[in-house]
A and B are shown apart, each in its own frame.
Chain A
Amino acid sequence: MAFKKSAVPFNGTAEQEARLNKVIEEHKNDPGALMPILQKAQDIYGYLPIEVQTMIAEAMDIPLEKVYGVVTFYAQFSINPKGQYKISVCLGTACYVKGSGDIFNKLQEKLGIGSGEITPDGKFSLDACRCIGACGLAPVLTVNEDVYGRLTVDDVDKILEKYA
C-alpha cells in the first residue's frame, strides 16, 4: 500500500498529548498493548501521523519501525487526516453486485480525490470499506455516522449537497 504525505500539517495540542500519555501509562504492561494503544491514539488525534507514532514508540520503548509496521498493516489505521465529513462506500460483495462500484467512481470523479485521500479544503475524505454488515440495504455508503442505503448513482449529488 502506498501512502502520500498529507498536505495538512500536524497540529496536535498539549492536551491531546497528555491524554495519549495517560492511555499509554494505563496499558503499557498489558500483553499485546500496542494495538489497543494505537486504536485509542487514533480516537484522540483522528489519525496516526508520524509524530504520534514517534511519541508512542518512545513512551513504550519500542522501535518506531515496529509501530509504523503495525500502523501500515491494518486498514483501520490512517496516516492521513480524515475530512470533516468522512465518506465510506461499501465495496463488500453484496453491495458490489448491486452497483456500489459505480457509486464509488462517481464520488471520486465529483470530489476529485481517490480512495484514502482528502479534499484540499479538508471537508471530505473518501474511503472504500469492506462490508459494514448492512447488506439488506445494499448498496450502502456512510457519511460520518449517517448511513445511506438502497442507493443509485443519481443519489450521489443529493447526498453531497446535504454537506456542502
Chain B
Amino acid sequence: MNKITTLDELNAVKAAAAEVVNVRVEGKSDSGVKDVLVCGGTGCTSSGSMNIIKKLEEEIERCGLKDKVNVIKTGCFGLCALGPIMIVYPEGTFYSKMEVDHITEIVESHLRDGVPVKKYLYAETVDGDNIKSLNDTAFYAKQHRVALRNCGLISPEHIEEYIARDGYQALHKVLTSMSQDDVINVLLASGLRGRGGAGFPTGRKWQFAKASVNDQKYVCCNADEGDPGAFMDRSVLEGDPHAVIEAMAIAGYAIGANQGYIYVRAEYPIAVERLEIAIKQAEEAGMLGDNIFGTGFKFHLGLRLGAGAFVCGEETALMTSIEGNRGEPRCRPPFPAVKGLFGKPTILNNVETYANVAQIILKGADWFASMGTEKSKGTKVFALGGKIHNTGLVEVPMGTTLRTVIEEIGGGIPNGKKFKAAQTGGPSGGCIPPQHLDIPIDYDNLIAIGSMMGSGGLIVMDEDNCMVDIAKFFLEFTVDESCGKCTPCRIGTKRMYEMLEKITEGKATMEDLDKLEKLCYYIKDNALCGLGQTAPNPVLSTLRYFKDEYIAHVQEKRCPAGVCKKLVQIKIDPAKCKGCSACSRKCPVGAITGEIRSPFTIDQNKCIKCGACIATCKFDAIKKG
C-alpha cells in the first residue's frame, strides 16, 4: 500500500474499498458477488473455524465460483455459543455450529444455486419460508454497536476495509483542524469514562497528562484483560485493531506524546498477531510514523507482551512491567499523568475506551452523550458467560437493565433452572441477586449495590451454584495473583481464603462470619492498590445478599446447592432402592451395605462422596443433597 499523505488520498482508498465492504454493510451487491464471512475469533477458532475456511475455499474453487464469492476471516460476531459461525452477504443469512461436512451442500445449494440450506441456519432466523437477517434476532436487535461496530464485519487484516468504514478520518480531522485542547474538550463533553473498571473520565486523564511539562510523554493501552470470563478487549483487538491504533495516535497528539505501547496478554495469540499486522500496515500507509498526513506529527507504536499476572492490569504495575520488572504496583500520587512509564508523564486507557474515541471525534460529543445515563454515557460491552443460553459478546447502551441483557439478549438460563445471581466486575466485583435485576446498569448503580462495572465480564449463575463456593473461588484467584508487596493483601486475602475454606467444610462458627466481615473492611481500607482494595468484594456482596447460604453452611452444616463436597451427603432413597447391590460392589471404600432385595444404606463416616454409586444405580435411587 502506498503512503497516504492527504485527505484526498485517504478518500480514494476509502471509495475503492467501500465497493468491497458495501456488500456487507449495505447488503447490496450489484455485481452479484457474495461475501462469506467466517468468524476467526478465539471462540470460533477453538471450535474449528479455520478448517471451515479451508474446506470452503476448496469447494468454491471446485464449483468454479472463485470470482463470485469472497471468503473473509473476521473478528468475533458475538454469539460464541453457536460457533463456528458463518454469515453470507448480501442477504445476511446466518449459519451456526458449522461442520466441515456441511460445506459442500452449502456451497452447491446456496452459493452456486442461490438456495440457502435451511437446516444448517441458526434456528431463530428461520420462520417458515422466511429467513430473517441476523440483525433481526433477539440477540442482536437490542444491541447498539459502537465499540464493536466493525467486529465481524470487516477483515481485521486489511487496513483498506477499516478505511472504508471512516477509518483514520478522525486522525486527519484532529491533526488538521483541532488544537490539543479541542480534542480534550470534545472527550470531556462526551462524558466518556474508562471502560477498564473504575470509570475515571477519559478526558480528564488526558487533560492532566497534557498539563505535565516534559520532553517525553507516553500513551499506553491496557490490553492485559485479566478478569477471568471477560473477553471484550480481545475481541476488539482481533476484530478491529486499527480502531485502537487510530485512537492512540489521537491521544498522542492531544497530550503531546510521540511514542505509544500496547501491553497485551501473551495468552491472546490471535490478537497479538493481528495487532502486529495492523501496526505494520498503519506504518506502511503513513498512519503511524514520522510525518503523519504531512503535518509533522510523529507517533510510533510498540507492542509489549504481558506474561500472565493479573495485577498488571493495575496502571502502575503495568508500567513497571513494561519497564522489565516484576509487575508490582506503587503508591499514588504521583499519578502516571505526572510520573508514569520510565518516569515520564503517561496516559493509560483500556482497549474498549480507545475503541470509542475516533467515533466521538467524528460524530461529536453530543452524539455520544445522547446514549446512556446521566453519569455514564455511551455503550458498554459485556461478555456474557456461565449458565446462559447465548454466551458471547453484547454491546448495549449504558442504563439497559440486567434483565434485558440476561433474559432477552442472553436468552435466559438453560435447562429450566432458576436464576440465582449475576457476577460482574470479576474478582473485584460482586454478585447481583434477583431483586436487583431491574436496576439500570451504569458505573454508579453497580457500585451502590456492592458490585462494579469492571471490564465487563457478566457471569450468570443458577440454583446449582453455591455462593460461598463462588466467593472462595474468587479469593483463591486473588491469593494466587496477589503480588505480595503489601501485607493486607498478601496475608489478609490468604486468611480470608482459610476462613472460607472452614465455612465450606462445615467447621466454622458464627463468630468466624463476623471476623470474616471485619477482615474484609480492613483489607478494603488498607491495601496498596486496586486489586487488594477490591479483593473482598466477592465476599462482601455474597454476605450481603446470600447470608442465609453462609448460615446454612455454618449452623446446619449443609450446602444448599450441593456443591461443597465436605457438606454433601449421598443418600439412598429406600422407596426406590431395589437392593440389587450394584452400588455396594462399586463403592471404593466399602461404605454401602445391606441385604439383597431390601434397601441398602450408606455409612456417612466412610463415604468419600466420589459419586460412583450415583453413576451406577439403574433405578435413580441415590441422590446428593
Chain A residues with CB under 8 Å of chain B are: 31-36, 38-39, 69-70, 73-77, 91-94, 96-98, 101, 129-138, 140, 147, 149
- Chain B residues 448-498 with CB under 8 Å of chain A are 457, 459, 461, 465, 470, 473-474, 477, 483
- CB pair B477–A130 under 8 Å, yes or no, is yes
Task: Write the nearest CB–CB distance from A74 to chain B, whole angstroms.
Answer: 3
- CB pair A73–B305 under 8 Å, yes or no, is no
Residue of B with least CB distance to A140: B46
Kindly state the separation between the CA atoms of A130 and B308 in the bound complex, as whole angstroms: 9
Partner pick for A93 among B229, B309, B322, B483, CB 8 A cutoff: B229
- Chain B residues 75-105 with CB under 8 Å of chain A are 79-83
Give every chain A residue within 8 A of B227 (Cβ-Cβ): 93, 131
- CB pair A76–B326 under 8 Å, yes or no, is no
Kindly state the separation between the CA atoms of A137 and B426 in the bound complex, as whole angstroms: 19
- Chain B residues 322-368 with CB under 8 Å of chain A are 322-327, 342
- CB pair B307–A133 under 8 Å, yes or no, is no
- CB pair A147–B477 under 8 Å, yes or no, is no
- CB pair B391–A75 under 8 Å, yes or no, is no
Kindly state the separation between the CA atoms of A91 and B326 in the bound complex, as whole angstroms: 24
With contact pairs A74-B309, A94-B229 given, residues A134 and B80 touching in the complex (Cβ less than 8 Å): yes
- CB pair B461–A39 under 8 Å, yes or no, is no
- CB pair B304–A35 under 8 Å, yes or no, is yes
- CB pair B327–A74 under 8 Å, yes or no, is yes
CB<8 Å pairs between A and B, sample of 26: A32-B322, A38-B307, A39-B305, A39-B307, A74-B308, A93-B227, A93-B385, A93-B457, A94-B228, A94-B229, A94-B385, A97-B465, A98-B387, A101-B473, A129-B267, A131-B229, A131-B230, A131-B267, A133-B231, A134-B46, A135-B385, A136-B81, A136-B82, A136-B385, A137-B46, A140-B46
Task: Write the nearest CB–CB distance from A52 to chain B, whole angstroms.
Answer: 15
Kindly state the separation between the CA atoms of A94 and B460 in the bound complex, as whole angstroms: 8
Task: Count contacts on B: residues with CB < 8 A to the other chain.
Answer: 51
Residue of A with least CB distance to B483: A73
**Of A69, A73, A136, which is in contact with the most chain B CB atoms at under 10 Å from its CB?**
A136
With contact pairs A70-B325, A94-B459 given, residues A75 and B229 touching in the complex (Cβ less than 8 Å): no
Kindly state the separation between the CA atoms of A23 and B82 in the bound complex, as whole angstroms: 42
Task: Write the nearest CB–CB distance from A90 to chain B, whole angstroms.
Answer: 8
Residue of B with least CB distance to A62: B324
Partner pick for B304 among A36, A69, A91, A134, CB 8 A cutoff: A36
- CB pair A32–B327 under 8 Å, yes or no, is no
Kindly state the separation between the CA atoms of A93 and B81 in the bound complex, as whole angstroms: 16
- Chain B residues 203-227 with CB under 8 Å of chain A are 226-227
- CB pair A136–B307 under 8 Å, yes or no, is no
Known: A93-B386, A137-B46. 15 other contacts (CB 8 A): A31-B324, A31-B342, A36-B305, A75-B308, A76-B266, A91-B228, A92-B229, A93-B423, A94-B385, A133-B231, A133-B234, A135-B43, A135-B80, A135-B385, A138-B391
Kindly state the separation between the CA atoms of A73 and B230 in the bound complex, as whole angstroms: 23
- CB pair B385–A138 under 8 Å, yes or no, is yes
With contact pairs A73-B483, A134-B42 given, residues A39 and B266 touching in the complex (Cβ less than 8 Å): yes
Task: Write the nearest CB–CB distance from B468 to chain A, whole angstroms.
Answer: 14
Residue of A with least CB distance to B310: A130
Residue of B with least CB distance to A93: B229
- Indicate if B404 sits at the interface (CB-CB under 8 A): no
Partner pick for B43 among A34, A97, A134, CB 8 A cutoff: A134
With contact pairs A69-B326, A77-B307 given, residues A96 and B473 touching in the complex (Cβ less than 8 Å): yes
Kindly state the separation between the CA atoms of A131 and B324 in the bound complex, as whole angstroms: 24
Kindly state the separation between the CA atoms of A24 and B470 in the bound complex, as whole angstroms: 44
- CB pair B231–A33 under 8 Å, yes or no, is no
Give every chain B residue within 8 A of A74 (Cβ-Cβ): 306-309, 327
- CB pair A137–B43 under 8 Å, yes or no, is yes
- Indicate if B47 sits at the interface (CB-CB under 8 A): yes
Residue of A with least CB distance to B82: A136
Kindly state the separation between the CA atoms of A27 and B47 in the bound complex, as whole angstroms: 37
- Indicate if B268 sits at the interface (CB-CB under 8 A): yes
- Indicate if B392 sits at the interface (CB-CB under 8 A): yes
- Indicate if B163 sits at the interface (CB-CB under 8 A): no
Give every chain B residue within 8 A of A75 (Cβ-Cβ): 307-309
Kindly state the separation between the CA atoms of A16 and B43 in the bound complex, as whole angstroms: 34
Task: Write the nearest CB–CB distance from B222 to chain A, whole angstroms.
Answer: 16
With contact pairs A133-B43, A138-B385 given, residues A76 and B231 touching in the complex (Cβ less than 8 Å): no
- CB pair B307–A131 under 8 Å, yes or no, is no
Give every chain A residue within 8 A of B423 (Cβ-Cβ): 93
Give every chain A residue within 8 A of B42 (Cβ-Cβ): 132-134
Kindly state the separation between the CA atoms of A94 and B308 in the bound complex, as whole angstroms: 18
Residue of B with least CB distance to A37: B324
Partner pick for A133 among B268, B308, B324, CB 8 A cutoff: B268
Kindly state the separation between the CA atoms of A164 and B391 in the bound complex, as whole angstroms: 33
Give every chain B residue within 8 A of A69 (Cβ-Cβ): 326
- CB pair A136–B426 under 8 Å, yes or no, is no
- Chain B residues 28-47 with CB under 8 Å of chain A are 42-43, 46-47
- CB pair A136–B43 under 8 Å, yes or no, is yes
Give every chain B residue within 8 A of A32 (Cβ-Cβ): 304, 322-324
Residue of B with least CB distance to A99: B464
Partner pick for A98 among B386, B473, B474, CB 8 A cutoff: B386
- CB pair A136–B226 under 8 Å, yes or no, is no
Give every chain B residue within 8 A of A135 (Cβ-Cβ): 43, 80, 229, 231, 383, 385, 391
Give every chain B residue within 8 A of A36 (Cβ-Cβ): 304-305
Kindly state the separation between the CA atoms of A96 and B426 in the bound complex, as whole angstroms: 13
**Of A92, A131, A147, which is in contact with the most chain B CB atoms at under 10 Å from its CB?**
A131
Task: Write the nearest CB–CB distance from A146 to chain B, whole angstroms.
Answer: 9
Partner pick for B80 among A93, A131, A136, CB 8 A cutoff: A136
- Lowest 10 A-B CB distances belong to which pairs? A136-B80, A92-B228, A94-B385, A74-B307, A75-B308, A32-B324, A34-B324, A93-B229, A76-B307, A147-B46
Kindly state the separation between the CA atoms of A92 and B477 in the bound complex, as whole angstroms: 9
- CB pair A131–B228 under 8 Å, yes or no, is yes
- CB pair A136–B459 under 8 Å, yes or no, is no
- CB pair A35–B229 under 8 Å, yes or no, is no
Kindly state the separation between the CA atoms of A92 and B228 in the bound complex, as whole angstroms: 5
Residue of B with least CB distance to A90: B228
Kindly state the separation between the CA atoms of A135 and B459 in the bound complex, as whole angstroms: 10
